[in-house]
Amino acid sequence: MKKKLVLLSLLLTLLLTFSKANESKLLTIPEQTNFKRTSTYREVMDFLKKLKAKHPDRMKITFFATSTEGKKIPLVILSEEGISKPEDIRFTGKLPVLIMANIHAGEVEGKEATQILMREILEEGREDLLKNQIVLIIPIFNPDGNDKIAKGHRRDNGPEEAGVRYNGQGYDLNRDYLKLETPEVRALVNKIFLRWDPVLFVDMHTTDGSYHQEPVTYAPNMAPQGDQTLIDFMWKRMLPEIDKNLEKKYGIKSIPYGNFVDRKDPSKGWRNHAYLGRYGTCYFGLRNRLSILDENYAHADFKTRVKGALAFIKSILEYTSKNINKIAALEKEADLRAVNKVKNSDFPVSFEPVKTYDFTIESYVFRIRKMTEEEKKKYPPWLGGYLVEKTDKIKTYKLPLFASYKPREFVKLTEGYVLLPSEKQVVELLKTHGIDVQVIGKDFKDKVKVFKITDVKSSKRIFQGHHLNKLSGEEILKEVKIPKGSFYVSLSQPLSRLAAYLLEPLSEDGLAAWNFFDRVIVREWSNKYRMYPVYKVMRTPPVYMYTL
């Protein structure tokens, strides 16, 4: 009897201890509400402040930007050494990895998963993730869009209410990486990408595309102008290992991000067409760094999505922890190639999709039916008047993945570019990107390549506040006078790929496309075009350093 009482007392003590531990555990809003609700900006900040108060030595919070509507955007720094600024990294011998969520503020599981990740690292035995690296987390990049929470903003399988895609200006932040017209992305590039220089950027999203079973989808940088060695490493080495670990260790299946090429015939393949530099992960690739797009599957329930997103970023951090020095070496080699091999090379400006590899997707049998007249009013015309609906019957498809792009048109680069003194606004934008710009110290004449514009077609539809341009014309060799005070952008620099992407007139996503030269290229009171105001020089002009 006495032994039974001792055992009972011990059991009660254990239960009480467990209850107190559970009460003291800091929970996210979804965990508190059985995954019925997502968090507001204030609730995220409260979570971060409480967690930091418990772990001030390993968790620091800085604010790197202020949103359009005045909310401060936090950067969380997790490290064994307790660093709070990028200048201190050199004392640690470690390198940073950046995870960002909530750029599209209605896509919420990344925001919640990153909060849980912080707690697990600091309180639940995952301190190993800080042993070889510094973890940077931006849990709520679009606070203005996040707090416009209401029903009907998303068709995801929970939560019932969510924020909106755009920021306080009405811009899609994941289309702003080249033009930098939003305070959020401008600060991200200038204060985080440039100053911290993370070896990997993970951008967390939600996809509501084609139906399948896997809760996590992913893609690396797909900008084909990027360093091909880095792209191949991601597709062939890094992502397959992360994918394998994700399923083996966490029981979560994942596939490459995309949609069926043909909704009526899934066997034709799976396609990802987001290869332009305006997208964050592609832009980061143009900087010779690795990036991963995380797209969590909207048709899975909210709890499953958060669980999948959390497991995916842990699997990524487990990989980088083991391989971060190898990654850094690959990126250094890419920087050197950009310095030495981009100038005077053939630079691609148009592309066609090609097969990346074959893979297996767990999906469904689908049925096709014509829309009713009422449905035709509801759905966009490009659906062709029919709907493809999934049945309850699961089907596995082996498909070709089309997520690589083969160049079909090139332009010839030279030593670099010259911009006239009137283009100081463009020069300031280039400097914000981190591109090295110098000032020409004296007048000189030289033969340069000038782009003679024959036509400018502007899109009828406004996109992100712009009517996107498509220029036509030809390059001609011409002797010109270049005045003192003009600007020189050398292609012997680490960001040479990004510089060419932005400045080439035929670049489909460059500054000419985004209207930065409209006031110059069209003559007032006539339909004639001026020369493109960026010259390609064959030799380095007389320059001195330029700073903003």
Residue written as token pair 């039974």: 4
Determine whether 5 is exposed, middle or buried from the number of CB atoms within 10 Å of its CB (0-12, 13-18, 19+). exposed
pLDDT at position 18: 45
- The neighbouring-strand residues paired with 489 are 417
The CA–CA distances, whole Å, from 110 to 341, 435, 476 equal: 38, 31, 50
pLDDT digits (tens, 9 = 90+) for 312-345: 999 999 999 999 999 999 999 999 999 999 999 9
pLDDT at position 16: 45
Burial 246-272 (b: 16+ CB within 10 A, else e): beeebebbbbbbbbbbebeebeebbbb
392, 478: one domain: no
359, 229: one domain: no
Q: Is residue 87 part of a domain?
A: yes
pLDDT at position 543: 79
Q: Is residue 135 part of a domain?
A: yes
pLDDT digits (tens, 9 = 90+) for 123-170: 999 999 999 999 999 999 999 999 999 999 998 999 999 999 999 999
pLDDT at position 17: 45
Domain containing 285 equals: 33-349
340, 356: one domain: no
Closest alpha carbon to 176 in 466, 425, 462: 466
Indicate the residue among 302, 332, 349 that finishes a domain: 349
pLDDT digits (tens, 9 = 90+) for 90-122: 999 999 999 999 999 999 999 999 999 999 999
For the chain, the farthest-separated pair of C-alpha atoms sits apart, in whole angstroms, at 105
- Between the CA atoms of 208, 211, 212 and 217, what dihedral angle is there, to the nearest 10 degrees? -30
Q: Is residue 496 part of a domain?
A: yes
The CATH code of the domain that includes 318 is 3.40.630.10
Q: Is residue 518 part of a domain?
A: yes
Q: Is the pLDDT of residue 1 over 80?
A: no
Backbone angles phi, psi at 139, to 5 degrees: -80, -25
Residue written as token pair 């030593």: 415
451, 533: one domain: yes
Q: Is residue 75 part of a domain?
A: yes
Q: Is residue 320 part of a domain?
A: yes
Q: Is residue 28 part of a domain?
A: no
490, 365: one domain: no
- The neighbouring-strand residues paired with 134 are 96
281, 392: one domain: no
299, 356: one domain: no
319, 176: one domain: yes
Q: Count of domains in the chain?
A: 3
Which string of DSSP letters, residue by residue, matches 422-457?
A: GGHHHHHHHHHHT---EEE-S-EEEEEEEEEEEEEE
396, 286: one domain: no
- Between the CA atoms of 285, 197, 331 and 308, what dihedral angle is there, to the nearest 10 degrees? -60
Closest alpha carbon to 184 in 41, 43, 73: 73
300, 359: one domain: no
Task: Quote the tokens at residue 379.
Answer: 């759905």
285, 141: one domain: yes
Distance CA(487)–CA(546), nearest Å, equals 8
344, 364: one domain: no
Bridge-based pairing state of the strands 444-458 and 72-78? unpaired
Indicate the residue among 349, 367, 398 that finishes a domain: 349
| Proportion of the chain above pLDDT 90, given as a percent | 88
More confident site: 208 or 203:
203
pLDDT digits (tens, 9 = 90+) for 276-306: 999 999 999 999 999 999 999 999 999 999 9
Q: Is residue 214 part of a domain?
A: yes
